[in-house]
C-alpha cells in the first residue's frame, strides 16, 4: 500500500533522489496502473536522462522527468500547506483515477504514487503522472478568435456537466478503499470510497488546529452542521484571525470591532434554522466533485488545434460537496461587469459607432465576455439541467447565508447577521417554509430580534461596511485586488512595499485629524510594510 505527505520542516529534495526513485519506479513494459503498486525491475528499468524543475505553485513542487525512451512524466510533491498528510495525496490520486476511468475526462494518468512520507524513498509524498498532453491554454487564449473561444467554452461546459452528473450520496473527499480506514470511509463501490475532506477551507488559517469531524458525512444537513461546528471551534480557541483574512480595516476609534460574542451569535442562530435553508430539490443537495479553479493555466489544448482541449490538471483538494454549495461558473469565463440575462443574447450598444475608440473596445470586450458566459450556460442547460438550477439557486438568500457561514472565524458576521434578520421576517420566512391557509408561515421562525437589537445590528453593519470600503480603497490605490491575502511575487515585493507605504501615509492623512487619532489608526493598519 502506498500512501502520506511532506512533513513540516523536511529538507529540500535532491534531484538525484528524485531521479533514483523515478528510475526504480518504472519498467518500460509494465507501468503502474494508478493503483499505488510500484513495479520495480532494475534489469529493464528505463533510465531517466533529464530532470527539469517546473515553476513552483503555492501548494506543490513539480519536476519534469525525461526518460531515455523519450517519455516524459511529472513528479509532483505537496508542500506543507497543501493539506493533511497522506489524505491530500491519496484523495488526489483517487479523484484523478475516477475522473479518467469512470467519467472519461482528459486527466493525466497516475503512474505511481506514495502518500506516506515514511514509506517514500524521497522522504516525502509524491505522485508520478503522465505529462499533460498539449500546451497551457494561457499561451493561446488571448490570440484566439471569439469563435474559437466559444468552441473551448462548450467543451468546458460538457466536462463540468459530466462532473455534475456523477452523484454521490455522502460528502467528504474521494479515496481508493485501501487508503482510508474502514472506520473513516463510506463505501461507494468495490474501488472507491468517500472519506475525510481535503478541502482547504477545513485546514487554512489555523483551522487544521481544531479537533472537529471532517467527514465523511452522510447528508447535506450533517455537512453544514460540521462546517458551522468548525467555525465555532475556531472562534472559541483563537482570539482572532489574521488581518489578511479580514475584509476591512477594523478596530479603529470609530469603526467596527469584531467580537467573539458576535461571531458565536450568528453561528448559533444559523444552526437554529439551517435545516430549512437547504434546497427542496434533492438533486441540488447531491454530492458532486467540482474543479475549484478552471482557468487557462489548468486547461491544456492541442498545439496545432488549440480549440481541442487535451488535458485538465490540478485536482488536488477537490471535495465532494452538495451541488448547490460547490458548483460555480469556471474561472475561464469569469469577468468584471454585468452578467447577461439567462438565455438572452448579448448585444452591442446601438450607438457603438458614436463611441470613442476606448469605449468601443470596452463594449466589444464586454460583448465577447457575455457571449462566452451565455455559451457556457446554454451548454450546461442542455447537458446537466440541475446545474442550471444550482446556479439559479445561488441568487437566493438561503444560499447567500450558507455560502458565507463557513468564513465567520475570519470575518463577515455583521453581514450574516443582517441576512439572518432579513430571513426572520414573516414575508421572507414563509417563502422558505411555505404559508398555511391563513397566509402565515407553516413553521414559525426560531429567530426573533427586538427593535433595539435590529437598530444595533444596522449600526454595526454600517460601521463594518465603512471599514470594508476603507480597505478596498487602499488596495485599489496600491493596484491590488479586493481580498488580497498578502502574497507577492519576489520580483514585485519592493514595489508593493513602496506603494503600501505611500498608501498608508495617504490613509492616515485622510482618516486622522490629530496626532492621537493618527497613532490609533496606525495601530490598526493591517499591512506589514516595515
Q: Is the pLDDT of residue 51 over 50?
A: yes
Look at residues 381, 328, 457 and name the one whose alpha carbon lies nearest to residue 154.
381
Q: Which domain holds residue 489?
A: 470-524
- At residue 258, the pLDDT reads 97
pLDDT of residue 14: 53
Question: What does the pLDDT read at residue 120?
Answer: 87
Assigned domain for 44 exists: yes
What is the structure's pLDDT at 241? Answer: 87
Q: Which of 112, 131, 150 is the last residue of a domain?
A: 131
> What pLDDT is recorded for position 202?
98
Instruction: Identify whether 159 is part of a domain.
Output: no
Prediction pTM value: 0.89
Please indicate whether residue 297 or residue 7 has the higher confidence score (pLDDT): 297
Q: Which of 108, 131, 154 lies at the terminal end of a domain, its last residue?
A: 131
The pLDDT, as a whole number, for residue 267 is: 99
Condensed to tens digits (0 to 9), the pLDDT of residues 275-311 reads 999 999 999 999 999 998 999 999 999 999 999 999 9
Mean pLDDT, all residues of the chain: 91
Residue 151 scores a pLDDT above 50: yes
Q: Is residue 51 part of a domain?
A: yes
pLDDT band at 35 (very low <50, low <70, confident <90, very high): very low
Contacts of 444 (CB under 8 A, 6+ apart): none
Report the DSSP pairing between strands 299-301 and 173-176: unpaired
pLDDT of residue 245: 87
CB 423 within 8 A of CB 432: yes
pLDDT at 489: 80
Map residue 310 onto helix, strand or coil.
strand
**What tens digit of pLDDT does each residue of 334-391 get?**
999 999 998 999 999 999 999 999 999 999 999 999 999 999 999 999 999 999 999 9
From 131, 165, 191, give the residue that closes a domain.
131
pLDDT of residue 32: 36
Identify the band that residue 28 occupies on the pLDDT scale cut at 50, 70 and 90.
very low
Q: Determine the pLDDT at residue 9.
A: 34
- pLDDT tens-digit series, residues 475-506: 999 998 887 877 788 888 999 999 999 999 99
- Answer whether residue 163 shows pLDDT above 60: yes
The pLDDT of residue 26:
47
The residue-averaged pLDDT of 45-52 equals: 80
pLDDT band per the 50, 70, 90 thresholds, residue 69 = confident
Q: What's the rounded Cα separation, in Å, for the pair 354 and 349?
A: 10
Alpha-carbon dihedral sign for residues 376, 377, 382, 386: positive
CB of 467 closer than 8 Å to CB of 255? yes
**pLDDT at residue number 528:** 76
Handedness of CA 311, 312, 316, 319 (dihedral sign): negative
Check which CATH number belongs to the domain holding 97 and give it.
3.30.200.20
- Domain membership of residue 121 (yes or no) is yes
* Interior/surface letters 445-478, b for 16+ CB within 10 angstroms, e for the rest: beeebeeeeeeebeebbebbbebbebbbebbeeb
Q: Which residues contact 133 (CB under 8 A, 6 or more apart)?
A: 106, 300, 302, 310, 311
> Across residues 511-520, what is the average pLDDT?
93
Give the confidence band of 460 by pLDDT, cuts at 50, 70, 90.
Answer: very high
Q: What is the pLDDT of residue 17?
A: 60
Query: What interhelical angle do 413-423 and 260-273 show, nearest 10?
Result: 40
pLDDT at 508 over 50: yes
Average pLDDT over residues 127-134: 97
| 207-266 confidence digits (pLDDT tens) | 999 999 999 999 999 999 999 999 999 999 998 888 888 999 999 988 999 999 999 999
User: Is 117 within the bounds of a domain?
Assistant: yes
Measured CA to CA in angstroms, residue 152 lies from 77, 137, 158, 327 at distances of 30, 10, 10, 19
Q: How confident is the model at residue 30 (pLDDT cuts 50, 70, 90)?
A: very low
Number of structural domains found in the chain: 2
Distance in Å from the first CA to the final CA of the chain: 49
Task: State mean pLDDT over 62-68.
Answer: 92
Instruction: Please give the full DSSP string across 118-164, using - where no structure is assigned.
Output: GG-TTSS-EEEEEPPSSEEGGGTGGGS-HHHHHHHHHHHHHHHHHHH
Amino acid at each position: 500500500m502506498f500512501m502520506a505527505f511532506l512533513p513540516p520542516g523536511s529538507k529540500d529534495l535532491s534531484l538525484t533522489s528524485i531521479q533514483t526513485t523515478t528510475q526504480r519506479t518504472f519498467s518500460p513494459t509494465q507501468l503502474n496502473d494508478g493503483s499505488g503498486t510500484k513495479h520495480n525491475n532494475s534489469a529493464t528499468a528505463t533510465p531517466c536522462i533529464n530532470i527539469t524543475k517546473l515553476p513552483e505553485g503555492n501548494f506543490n513542487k513539480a519536476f519534469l522527468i525525461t526518460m531515455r525512451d523519450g517519455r516524459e512524466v511529472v513528479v509532483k510533491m505537496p508542500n506543507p500547506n497543501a493539506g493533511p498528510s497522506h489524505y491530500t495525496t491519496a484523495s488526489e490520486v483517487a479523484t484523478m483515477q475516477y475522473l479518467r476511468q469512470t467519467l472519461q475526462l482528459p486527466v493525466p494518468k497516475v503512474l505511481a504514487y506514495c502518500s506516506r512520507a515514511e514509506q517514500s524513498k524521497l522522504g516525502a509524498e509524491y505522485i508520478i503522472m503522465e505529462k499533460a498532453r498539449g500546451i497551457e491554454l494561457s499561451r493561446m487564449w488571448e490570440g484566439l478568435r471569439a469563435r474559437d473561444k466559444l468552441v473551448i467554452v462548450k467543451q468546458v461546459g460538457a466536462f463540468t456537466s459530466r462532473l455534475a452528473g456523477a452523484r454521490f450520496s455522502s460528502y467528504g473527499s474521494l479515496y481508493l478503499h485501501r487508503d482510508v480506514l474502514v472506520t473513516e470511509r463510506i463505501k461507494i463501490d468495490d474501488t472507491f470510497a468517500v472519506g475525510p475532506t481535503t478541502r482547504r477551507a477545513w485546514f487554512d488559517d489555523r483551522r487544521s488546529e481544531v479537533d472537529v469531524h471532517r467527514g465523511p458525512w452522510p447528508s447535506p444537513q450533517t455537512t453544514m452542521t460540521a462546517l458551522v461546528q468548525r467555525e465555532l471551534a475556531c472562534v472559541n480557541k483563537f482570539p482572532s484571525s489574521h488581518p489578511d483574512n479580514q475584509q476591512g480595516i477594523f478596530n479603529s476609534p470609530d469603526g467596527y470591532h469584531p467580537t467573539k460574542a458576535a461571531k458565536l451569535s450568528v453561528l448559533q442562530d444559523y444552526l437554529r434554522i439551517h435545516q430549512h435553508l437547504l434546497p427542496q430539490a434533492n438533486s441540488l443537495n447531491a454530492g458532486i466533485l467540482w474543479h475549484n479553479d478552471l482557468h487557462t493555466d489548468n486547461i491544456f489544448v492541442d498545439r496545432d488545434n488549440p480549440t481541442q482541449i487535451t488535458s485538465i490538471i490540478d485536482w488536488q483538494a477537490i471535495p465532494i460537496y452538495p451541488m448547490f454549495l460547490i458548483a460555480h461558473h469556471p474561472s475561464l469565463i469569469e469577468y468584471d461587469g454585468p452578467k447577461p440575462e439567462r438565455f438572452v443574447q448579448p448585444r452591442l450598444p446601438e450607438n457603438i459607432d458614436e463611441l470613442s475608440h476606448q469605449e468601443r473596445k470596452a463594449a466589444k470586450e464586454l460583448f465577447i465576455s457575455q457571449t462566452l458566459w451565455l455559451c457556457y450556460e446554454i451548454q450546461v442547460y442542455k447537458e446537466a439541467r440541475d446545474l442550471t438550477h444550482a446556479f439559479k439557486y445561488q441568487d437566493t438568500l438561503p444560499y447567500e447565508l450558507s455560502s458565507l457561514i463557513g468564513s465567520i472565524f475570519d470575518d463577515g458576521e455583521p453581514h450574516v447577521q443582517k441576512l439572518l434578520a432579513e430571513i426572520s421576517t414573516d414575508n421572507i420566512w414563509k417563502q422558505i417554509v411555505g404559508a398555511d391557509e391563513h397566509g402565515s408561515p407553516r413553521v414559525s421562525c426560531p429567530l426573533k430580534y427586538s427593535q433595539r437589537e435590529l437598530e444595533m445590528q444596522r449600526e454595526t453593519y454600517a460601521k463594518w461596511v465603512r471599514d470594508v470600503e476603507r480597505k478596498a480603497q487602499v488596495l485599489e490605490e496600491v493596484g491590488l485586488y479586493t481580498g488580497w491575502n498578502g502574497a507577492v511575487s519576489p520580483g514585485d515585493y519592493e514595489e508593493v512595499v513602496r506603494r503600501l507605504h505611500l498608501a498608508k501615509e495617504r490613509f492616515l492623512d485622510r482618516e486622522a485629524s490629530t496626532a492621537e487619532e493618527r497613532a490609533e489608526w496606525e495601530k490598526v493598519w493591517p499591512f506589514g510594510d516595515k
